[in-house]
Structure 1
Amino acid sequence: MNIYIVQPGDSVDSIAASQNVSVEALTYDNQIYPPYRLAVGQALYIRGGSPPEDRIPLYVFGYAYPFIDPDNLDETLPFLTDLYVFSYGITLEGDLVPPQSPDDWMIDRALEAGVRPVLTLTPFGPDGRFNNSLVTNLVHNPQIQQRLMWNLGRTMQEKRFGGLDIDFEYILADDRQAYADFVKRTTQIMNQFGYQVTVALAPKTSAGQVGLLYEGVDYRLLGEAANRVLLMTYEWGYTYGPPMAVAPINMVRKVVDYAITEIPLYKISLGIPNYGYDWPLPYERGVTRAETVSNLEAIQIAIENGAEIQFDEEAMSPFFRYWKFGIQHEVWFEDVRSYKAKFDLIKEYGLTGAGYWQIMQFFRANWLVLSQMFEARKVGD
């Protein structure tokens, strides 16, 4: 495996010749389509030989909505251990709210591919946003929890889910202990029926970190309560925030440094983003809104606007600026370099998992880099 950075004057033919790969392999691996245009600074995956036999086993999963493109899902499944179906909500009474689109078809395809489907549980309110009132109501009421467990068990059996992911965010500080107790109780019940329970954790860098996203999340208690945890190490750059990398590796490292002091290594999965953002400039807090773009869309924007892609060595993330209709934009996204940096961090710390938010857009080069460094565990391994 090699990574090549496009230089001025390069073409797919000249790069393929210089790297001793076929044009077909280069364009297929990097999803380069006719007329085969490139952006200066674009990072390309260059395939080598077969993956080494001593690859480290890794628990790999990705979140997906039921409206994911079927071909995209089929191409992604071979690289996954689990497929996290997003998502099932809850009512004040403890009933489940299924996804708006049918999910049976994606569960079928996951099982056919030897991938375990996992039910993702979220406390979404009627507006589609995380609702901490639903969390408070649930974690302090044993009767509602009992009803929820019954509904979860029935749904998981009927739908053939193989595990449960608890993705609660914006938990109130006063609910910190009760939430951890709820996760522990849920894990104990689910484990009796052979279901693994994962809990998603906001990216904290210290126990006393302030803010609504962090104060109700106790790494030690939740790490003890669940079978596995996902560190949601992304969204430093976000829709309403200032332009910056979505998952700067220097900040990701700080989260991992703290997490391993509270949670056993064998339980930790690193969160990995599969998207970027395009901000109009100048940025004005409360006014500016970034547009979400896929990694391939970001590259096309650079190509169409003649922008040269830069690389931030501290954040280990690509970015560029361009002008359109008199407005300057700044784009941050992920490429093979930024993904490899995250995979290197997983190896460095000895983490055992990687979880993608989300897999709705297929970025082949990411999976090829991953498969050169790790071997996705399969259920039962």
Structure 2
Amino acid sequence: MKRLFTITTFILFGVFFATPVFADTSENIFYYFPNTMGYQSLEDHYRDIDILAPQIYTFGYDLKLGDIESDDAIKFAKKKRVDVMPLVVNANFDINLMSQLLANEDVQDDLIDDMIDEARHRDYIGWQLDFENINHFDRQRYVDFVKKVYKEFKKRDLVLSVAVIPRTTPYVQNSYDQDWSSGYDIGAIADTSDFVSIMSYDDPKSIGPVSSMTYLNKVLDQTLKDTPAEKISLGIPFYCWQYELGNSKKIANVTYEISANTQEKYKDAGVFSAYFDALEAEIFAFVKNGRVNYIWCDNEQSIEAKLDLVHDTGLRGISAWALGQEDLKVWKHF
């Protein structure tokens, strides 16, 4: 998704039906990157996975759909009868590459045809578009492209979902304050797809938790203004952010296991951990080389709270980033 972490998989806790559904009938969907820990988690928890969504395809600078990067997880999922819905990303999240795609109908047609052919060949249930860093001047063109893909997918009974970066404030076209979220008209995209996964697992302005409950509530307040709840899959993080005291810029993205192991490693130098109910996040603090470091994580308690949020707001489900990074105790809630 927005950042290609070493260990990744994406969980969407959603349902692929055109009619409204409720959280208690939602499906677990996981994004996956080729990596040891992610694959191990897939093997251990495939029974809780309804749809595996591996990020293993790229729309490249040759303006073509690239070859599959790894099929290990695909083969495993097929063996275990887990549905697969891969992502396609624009190479390096290149803004100019996206503009080329959105300006060229022939390139669009070729990409759509290739996605359909690959879905047939590998028995995918559909695709998720994970195109990012879209120029806000291409905002309507992207909506038109999604609509075009959706029309062709429906002829073949394929699912189309779209990963979108949410906002906490309204989009203003003439504002100088544009960012990666500006390229998405989320309401219009939701209207012309089966559902959207809002990438709310990463608060870009946070200097603390990866995605606090405060941030998620702001995201939903804005998104629900023009997007039906049953078409929203809420992004939540499984990974952690590490900081050094005195520096507001994070210094690392780490898994929950690495965070816990780090705390154990430096326990003789002094460690501290606490859970902040207001933020629904856990913090680990420790002394490393004489300097205080701290790590914000989502654990089973915070994941449970976010699942409750999904239920209370009638959302389609969750999109969790990423398999292999999680607190293993979260699985009791799926």
- Alignment partner, residue 78 of structure 1: 47
1:146 maps to 2:109: yes
- Alignment partner, residue 253 of structure 2: 292
**C-alpha distance in 1, partners of 2:68/2:254?**
23
**C-alpha distance in 1, partners of 2:118/2:164?**
24
CA shift for structure 1 position 187: 1.1
CA shift for structure 1 position 172: 0.8
1:190-269 pair list within 5 angstroms: 190-208=153-171, 210-236=177-203, 243-269=207-233
Deviations 1:91-118 (A, max 9, x none): 3443112354x21x31122123332111
Q: Which letter maps to 2:148? A: R
Q: Which letter maps to 1:61? A: I
Larger-gyration structure (1/2): 1
CA shift for structure 1 position 316: 1.0
Distance 1:342 1:362, change over 3 A: closer
Q: Given the two structures, how large is their TM-score scaled by the length of structure 1?
A: 0.75
- Alignment partner, residue 34 of structure 2: 66
**C-alpha distance in 2, partners of 1:223/1:207?**
17
User: Where do 5+ consecutive residues of structure 2 fail to align?
Assistant: 1-21
CA shift for structure 1 position 149: 1.3
Matched residue of 2:247: which SS?
coil
Deviations 1:187-227 (A, max 9, x none): 11112111101101112123326432121111111111111
For the 8 Å contact 2:129–2:162, the answer to whether it is kept is yes
- Alignment partner, residue 145 of structure 2: 182
Distance 1:310 1:196, change over 3 A: same
- Alignment partner, residue 109 of structure 1: 76
User: Where do 5+ consecutive residues of structure 1 fail to align?
Assistant: 1-53, 372-381
Q: How many residues align?
A: 305
- Alignment partner, residue 88 of structure 2: 121
**C-alpha distance in 2, partners of 1:352/1:242?**
26
1:280 maps to 2:244: yes
1:302 maps to 2:263: yes
**C-alpha distance in 1, partners of 2:234/2:81?**
22
- Alignment partner, residue 18 of structure 2: none
Deviations 1:283-313 (A, max 9, x none): 16xxx55212111221222233231211222
**RMSD (CA atoms):** 2.0
1:354 maps to 2:318: yes
Runs of 4+ in 1 over 6 A off after TM superposition: none
1:91 maps to 2:60: yes
Stretch of structure 1 that moved more, 91-100 or 316-325? 91-100
For the 8 Å contact 1:199–1:230, the answer to whether it is kept is yes
Q: Which letter maps to 1:85? A: P
Instruction: Give the % identical residues.
Output: 22
For the 8 Å contact 2:241–2:250, the answer to whether it is kept is no
**C-alpha distance in 2, partners of 1:362/1:278?**
15
Stretch of structure 1 that moved more, 155-164 or 340-349? 155-164
